[in-house]
Structure 1
Amino acid sequence: MEYKIGEVSNILNIPIDTLRYYEKKNIVHPKKSANNNYRFYDAWEINYLIECKKFRSYDFSLSEVEDILYHDSLTKFMDKIDDRQSYFEERLKYYTLLMEKNQVYQHSLHSIKKNLWECTLTEHPEIYYFIHRYNYTYKSKDQFGDFFDIWLGYFPFVETIIEIQEEAILNRDHCNEHGWGFAIKKRYADAFQIPLNEKIKHVESVKSVYTVICAGDKGSFSLQLLDKAMSFIEKHGYKLSGTITGNLLARVHEPDGYQRYIEVWLPVTKL
């Protein structure tokens, strides 16, 4: 019994274009009619397609599937399955950390309204970061070498960070200097062995005042958004003791306009 490509597509729930692509990749070799070039698949070829679906579910590439179906000995096949175990362990590690990261992000998002403009004393998480934009001017990508692209590949573990120097915040009535860049918590940098060099800044876990601020549309960010946090520091007998950093939590469209929510840590010491 032979089946046309549309029938095979219906039987296996594989799109016709995918079946043609599998043919180009030597996964199957259907017969072709000399008259109209119609393709016909017998049970043997359909078995290969079923095996292809099976091994694709293991995340094997099509070239690996071709080797399994047409070239591999039992030893080579077992080696591939053994390698998959290591691959799955790495994926499990990745998604376990990603689930943890997302839970923290969920908590931050659900706490925005509670923390907006409010101040609490907490510990700043230990992070690594670099700044690639000062105000509205980007630095040349070449200044960062390969690690710029490498860091981009680790979203969502890499976050968008804002940096505000102590001198700038103390002169915020007539200064709005700040930088933007990428940051990653030390825990994730260690887990994924993120490349670091002398251009990467390191922030240890330090006592900080934590708050969430809200900026509006383009050009609306101002260091004066931190006035309440600075008043809190002074009122409670602390002083600013270093560079302020923060994460962009969300860009959203609310009924009253475009809003950017940013969580901020202001490092402090007791007077």
Structure 2
Amino acid sequence: MYTIGQVANFLGVSRDTLKFYEEKELVKPKQNIENGYRKYSHLDIYDITTVNFYREIDIEIKKIQELRKSKSIDGIQSLLEEKEQEVLLEIEYKKLLLKKIQIVKEDCKNIKQFLGEYIVKEMKPLEIKGEIEHFTAYEEYDTLKKNAESLKKAVTLTSLRRVIHFNEKGIIEDKFIIVRKVEGTDEEIEGEILSHPKCIYTIIEDGRWSTGGENIDQHVEANLRKLAIEKGYELLGQVYINLLLTTYEDGLERVFLEIYAPIK
């Protein structure tokens, strides 16, 4: 017979884990009524290593409790197949998560490279999934949740594009569309595809830290028009604005926006 300390040392588990197994009736060591000390037999130790085996492949305690009562080989196989599907789904989720992280890392790199700079760049295809009046139209967020590329189905603003239509007199239309990046040629596309082979591209900083809360639309428009005149570009009367990243400085938000202005 062995003490709880000895068993914990043998098996490399904590005393709390052994007590937890006991609470869940996965192991039933003998207990001295007078001093409350537990004594573990070699059969108890075997039970613990069996529980550890199933925990190592992440089988839930509740499932192990069921298994302890009775489980045929077919039943165990079914349990493992269920766990296998759960793990495969988790792997797919982690792949998507990794991709999201890599995209944000690339966005950080682009901010450092193109902040305040102007180049000509393609706006890659986007599928239009829906539209909301404004990012403050909270009652329309159900549409955003339904159509946005959010891993946890939570509201984020990164799937929104602000679209400004303008002419020489000023802004004609200002709206927000929900989009999805189109990757590959074999995807099933349901919505309208939006793309422009040539755009004036830049990244600007918005947010209270840099602007004091002032609207910078006119400043951005003036810079685009000035550059178009200098380079001999013809603006097509549209600007697409994408939220790349939000961070904070002295408690005030710093917002980095990606600008695409299609040209001929």
TM-score (norm 1): 0.67
- The answer (yes or no) to whether the contact 1:27–1:49 under 8 Å persists in 2 is yes
Counterpart residue number, 1:72 = 71
Distance 1:146 1:111 in 2: 27
Counterpart residue number, 1:110 = 109
Aligned-residue offset at 1:153: 1.0
Aligned match of 2:181 in 170, 185, 202?
185
SS in structure 2 at match of 1:212: strand
Counterpart residue number, 1:251 = 247
User: Structure 2 matches for 1:37-76, cutoff 5 A?
Assistant: 37-76=36-75
Work out which of the two has the higher radius of gyration on C-alpha atoms and give 1 or 2. 2
Aligned-residue offset at 1:251: 0.8
Distance 1:113 1:29, change over 3 A: same
- The answer (yes or no) to whether the contact 1:117–1:212 under 8 Å persists in 2 is yes
Q: Which runs of 5+ in 1 are unaligned?
A: none
Distance 2:94 2:81 in 1: 20
Counterpart residue number, 1:32 = 31
Amino acid at match of 1:164: R
Root mean square deviation of aligned Cα: 4.4
User: Structure 2 matches for 1:171-182, cutoff 5 A?
Assistant: 171=170
Counterpart residue number, 2:2 = 2
Amino acid at match of 1:222: I
Deviates more, 1:60-69 or 1:70-79: 60-69
Aligned match of 1:260 in 227, 230, 254?
254
SS in structure 2 at match of 1:251: strand
User: Structure 2 matches for 1:104-143, cutoff 5 A?
Assistant: 104-120=103-119, 121-127=121-127, 134=134, 137-140=136-139, 143=142
Aligned-residue offset at 1:74: 0.8
Aligned-residue offset at 1:212: 1.6
Aligned match of 1:204 in 175, 194, 198?
194
- The answer (yes or no) to whether the contact 1:159–1:183 under 8 Å persists in 2 is no
SS in structure 2 at match of 1:124: strand
Aligned-residue offset at 1:78: 1.8
Distance 1:146 1:129, change over 3 A: closer
- The answer (yes or no) to whether the contact 1:164–1:245 under 8 Å persists in 2 is yes
Aligned match of 2:164 in 149, 163, 166?
166
- The answer (yes or no) to whether the contact 2:248–2:254 under 8 Å persists in 1 is yes
CA distances 1:162-210 after superposition (whole Å, capped 9, x unpaired): 54341589858xxxx776x97653559x99x9xxx9xxx8663434443
1:238 has 2:234 as partner: yes
Distance 1:229 1:10 in 2: 70
CA distances 1:17-61 after superposition (whole Å, capped 9, x unpaired): 444433333333333332344444333333333333332332322
Equivalenced residues, count = 254
Amino acid at match of 1:206: H
- The answer (yes or no) to whether the contact 1:251–1:261 under 8 Å persists in 2 is yes
Distance 1:203 1:154 in 2: 23
Distance 2:69 2:139 in 1: 49
Amino acid at match of 2:122: T
Amino acid at match of 1:31: K
Distance 1:149 1:268 in 2: 24
CA distances 1:104-140 after superposition (whole Å, capped 9, x unpaired): 33222123211112233122342556677846x4513
Distance 1:93 1:51 in 2: 29
- The answer (yes or no) to whether the contact 1:126–1:204 under 8 Å persists in 2 is yes
Amino acid at match of 2:235: K
SS in structure 1 at match of 2:235: strand
Identity of aligned residues (%): 20
Distance 1:182 1:45 in 2: 59
CA distances 1:79-110 after superposition (whole Å, capped 9, x unpaired): 23334444443333333343333333322212
